[in-house]
Structure 1
Amino acid sequence: MGKFVITARTNGEFQFSLKAGNGQTILSSEGYSSKAGCENGIESVKRNSQDDDRFDRKESSSGKPYFNLKATNGQIIGSSEMYESVSARDNGIESVKKNAFDATIDDQTL
């Protein structure tokens, strides 16, 4: 089972990472100025990760595949790591779909 891990950045912002059952990070958020905003981002990932059209499949300038998960308004709510192949990236997307919906939340800022 996946989990969202909420952490605080050194600049005071909050961020989350979605981790698969094996502990590997499969999606990371931007920085949020409030914990409530970060928690809203998690709920947005849960909702939007179930729609394949919300995944924007990209390639970096160095040719590495990655993806962004976008909300209905087009805003990026999470980004993946850089992958070595398109098939690895696609497996990462499937992992987000599988793990995000019922993932628990581990708030490490308490």
Structure 2
Amino acid sequence: MNYSDEGSGKRTPDQDPNSVVSGDATGWLTSAEAAELYGCSARAIQKACAAGRLSARKTGHDWWIARTDFDDYRFRRSEHDRHDGDRGAREARGEGSGRG
């Protein structure tokens, strides 16, 4: 285990998750914590991590996500959803892609 941040109060993926307080707003989140904040399953978060869509570190069976990376991921996803919604609204109005 790496205890280089020992005494700082910050969680790191190298620490035993049972020995630190859950939900540190400035440090690291587990996939389960990230899923709860995002409103999806832990498995969905794990798949995003494994696919490289969400930057994370894997320690044993656990994925650890830096809070800043998680916030960036949420922002990118909300922008993506917003643009998809705009496209759907244009198609519903008959504006489509301009073809045919």
> Greater share of strand residues, 1 or 2?
1
**Of the two, which has the highest radius of gyration?**
2
TM-score by shorter chain over 0.5: no
Compute the TM-score of the two structures, normalised by the length of structure 1.
0.25
Higher relative contact order (CA 8 A, sep 6+): 1
Compute the TM-score of the two structures, normalised by the length of structure 2.
0.27
